[in-house]
């Protein structure tokens, strides 16, 4: 692998995932975006849509791999890579193993839910009959910043709305943050 070229492509796809995340933020979703790539082509993409769909499983990665499997007409995605702005949670890490995804590239670590090396390391557990290559830290600061700004903006009106609003908002943001 010629490092520089691979690095450039990684950043290119992560920027694409960031654009998807921004779309989520614009509609009030926690901004996480994911893109599934095969032979330098997008085969699936998604962003967190838990609020809109009232679906606890509507994470960016799940939406993206469902779309990829639909487009390719098969569930096995071993020749695909996924780029996601936030380290996948246990559900998504499990789904990525189930999809036999080739490689996982993520942006910022998730200290609360991260299951690709932080709390768990599900895709690299040798007990599965499939293991993925994982690389984190791609445009990590941009990915973290988008999340930080989203939560900051969401907290602001609550502070002005008084203590009760602040309290319920804080509870809400705590429970609904991935």
Active-site positions? Answer: 61
> Is residue 86 at the binding interface for Zn ion, with CB under 5 A as the rule?
no
Using CB under 5 A, which of 17, 35, 86, 92 touches Zn ion? 92
Structure token pair of residue 77: 């995605």
Cβ 34 to Zn ion, closest distance in Å?
Answer: 9
CB-CB contact of 18 with 146 (8 Å): yes
Identity of the residue, 90 or 166, whose beta carbon is nearer to Zn ion in the bound complex: 90
Identity of the residue, 84 or 139, whose beta carbon is nearer to Zn ion in the bound complex: 84
Cβ 144 to Zn ion, closest distance in Å?
Answer: 17
Residue number of the CB atom closest to Zn ion: 92
> Is residue 32 at the binding interface for Zn ion, with CB under 5 A as the rule?
no
Distance of CA 63 to the CA centre of its chain: 10
For Zn ion, how many residues bind (rule: CB under 5 A)?
A: 4
CB environment 168-178: b (16+ within 10 A), e (fewer): ebeeeeeeeeb
Identity of the residue, 34 or 80, whose beta carbon is nearer to Zn ion in the bound complex: 34
Using CB under 5 A, which of 58, 89, 104, 116 touches Zn ion? 89
Cβ 5 to Zn ion, closest distance in Å?
Answer: 30
Encoded one letter per residue, x for contact with Zn ion by CB under 5 A and - for no contact, window 48-77 reads: -----------x------------------
Identity of the residue, 134 or 158, whose beta carbon is nearer to Zn ion in the bound complex: 134
The contacts found for 44-47 with CB under 8 angstroms, 24 or more apart, are: 44/68, 44/69, 44/70, 44/71, 44/80, 45/16, 45/17, 45/20, 46/20, 47/20, 47/21, 47/23
- Mark residue 23 as left, alpha or beta (left: phi above 0; alpha: psi -120 to 50; beta: remaining): alpha
| Binding site residues, Zn ion, CB under 5 A | 59, 89, 91-92
């Amino acid at each position: 692998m010629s490092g520089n070229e691979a690095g450039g492509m990684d950043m290119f796809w992560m920027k694409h995932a960031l654009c998807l995340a921004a779309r989520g933020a614009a509609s009030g979703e926690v901004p996480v975006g994911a893109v599934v790539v095969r032979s330098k082509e997008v085969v699936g993409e998604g962003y967190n849509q838990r609020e809109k769909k009232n679906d606890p499983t509507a994470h960016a990665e799940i939406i993206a791999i469902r779309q990829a499997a639909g487009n390719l007409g098969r569930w096995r995605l071993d020749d695909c890579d996924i780029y996601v702005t936030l380290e996948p949670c246990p559900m998504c890490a499990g789904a990525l193993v189930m999809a036999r995804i080739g490689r996982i590239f993520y942006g910022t670590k998730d200290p609360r839910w991260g299951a690709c090396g932080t709390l768990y390391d599900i895709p690299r557990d040798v007990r599965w009959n499939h293991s993925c290559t994982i690389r984190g830290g791609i445009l990590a600061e941009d990915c973290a910043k988008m999340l930080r700004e989203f939560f900051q903006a969401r907290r602001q009106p609550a502070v002005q709305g008084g203590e009760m609003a602040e309290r319920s908002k804080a509870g809400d943001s705590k429970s609904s943050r991935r």
